[in-house]
Structure 1
């Protein structure tokens, strides 16, 4: 087994084990249904305790990336995307972290007059145009999410940027705008004809609807984001600690 834990590293063992498991999840054999080594065997190979290994496995089971069943062992979950509420990233960063290959089916950038919700969030005049980005994304097989993002004029976007790169990395590297706070609202909606057409689902099918409000370090608004997810292709998990 080529995977290994660095026992001299300052990174906690459970965190290293989690990273290693994520790498294994992305491997073709495990994607095709190969069962993970059992906990006793894997813990022995990595020279860590079963409780440390189990901590990492439990986290990935909770995220929906692994499925653990008695007598059949631990396997990679079927291609349902999972997002965590306490560790927000750009969509590209999230999917890369989870080893999920992403395809852009559509992307469009335009300058528009904002609607009332965007005007209120950005606290701008209604006749001031903002940059709007639309993306239809998914796995290579089919789209599962349609995004609409509006950006505050203060950010300085021109529309000529490479929006196929991770969004928040691009904002930081090219515009010195650092996204530090995200607030989200999650609800269920019935797909209208436009969303149903984009996601290739029947009219009125349920979709997970996520609003994301993104701020910089001064808590100034940066992005107003709407996401429409196919209900059978996305799991949103919440992790709380006390």
Structure 2
């Protein structure tokens, strides 16, 4: 497999190395147990320092994709069932999986000052404006979710992007930002007057509230997302498998 790093790219070298390693370990010969090239050889081939390469390797070891044994080498970890929910989908992907066409009923963009909670997540000051995206979305029959997203200024969004496109696909293609990790908090709340008006329910009606924290390929915070779902129109399913 021919692998190389673009030293002129704005993507950090350790991130490029990590992405290359993820592709490399898909090779059947490594899946079958062949040791990866040693650090000196691989770092030389990629023209990066061993420290940079080790940072990428450590990430995959932490994710239990690789195992490393001192004096022996590094190889692909044996397959096993994880008890963690490792797969997450964007709203568009969720709806596509269910065979439901997605419709945007409203879409609003604005530049706002983040509150303390959002600024803390992004590790920025509250006096720096960030882009806020609000979308009322649903199927062809009716809207059933109201999303509010805030984006880290590091992404470089101008507000001129086409936010009607699938969000994470647009961020990746136009800004080389890959949504790599999502952490979520789910709770039941009563609809405020504002959200009730958007979702056409009574104020105080039960809603499914999902708070999503999205990180990029460098595990840096990129999006702070709030989702308000009509309770009778949406079911959140979690699938777990017992690890015996």
Structure 2 length as normaliser, TM-score? 0.63
State the alpha-carbon separation in 2 of the partners of residues 102 and 217 from structure 1.
27
Contact 1:86–1:239 (Cα < 8 Å) also in 2 = no
Counterpart of 2:215 in structure 1 is: 215
Secondary structure of the equivalent of 1:144? strand
CA RMSD of aligned residues (A): 1.0
State the alpha-carbon separation in 2 of the partners of residues 98 and 231 from structure 1.
17
Counterpart of 2:142 in structure 1 is: 142
Counterpart of 1:174 in structure 2 is: 174
Q: CA deviation at 1:86?
A: 4.2
Q: CA deviation at 1:97?
A: 2.2
Counterpart of 1:158 in structure 2 is: 158
Structure 1 length as normaliser, TM-score? 0.64
State the alpha-carbon separation in 1 of the partners of residues 197 and 157 from structure 2.
29
State the alpha-carbon separation in 2 of the partners of residues 144 and 228 from structure 1.
8
Counterpart of 1:87 in structure 2 is: 87
Aligned ranges 1:1-242 → 2 under 5 Å: 86-241=86-241, 242=243
Q: CA deviation at 1:239?
A: 1.1
Q: CA deviation at 1:128?
A: 0.3
Q: For structure 1, list consecutive stretches of 5 or more residues without a partner in the other structure.
A: 1-84
Give the number of the structure whose alpha-carbon radius of gyration is greater. Answer: 2
| Deviation per residue, 1:139-183 (Å, 9 max, x gap) | 122110000000000011110000011111111100000110000
| Deviation per residue, 1:58-101 (Å, 9 max, x gap) | xxxxxxxxxxxxxxxxxxxxxxxxxxx64212211221122101
Number of residue pairs matched by the alignment:
158
Q: CA deviation at 1:231?
A: 0.3
Counterpart of 2:36 in structure 1 is: none
Query: Where has structure 1 moved over 6 Å in runs of 4 or more?
Result: none
Bigger relative contact order, structure 1 or 2, given CA contacts below 8 A and separation 6+?
Answer: 1
State the alpha-carbon separation in 2 of the partners of residues 156 and 215 from structure 1.
15
Secondary structure of the equivalent of 1:236? coil
| Deviation per residue, 1:203-225 (Å, 9 max, x gap) | 10000000000001211000000
Task: Looking at secondary structure, tell me which structure has more strand per residue.
Answer: 1
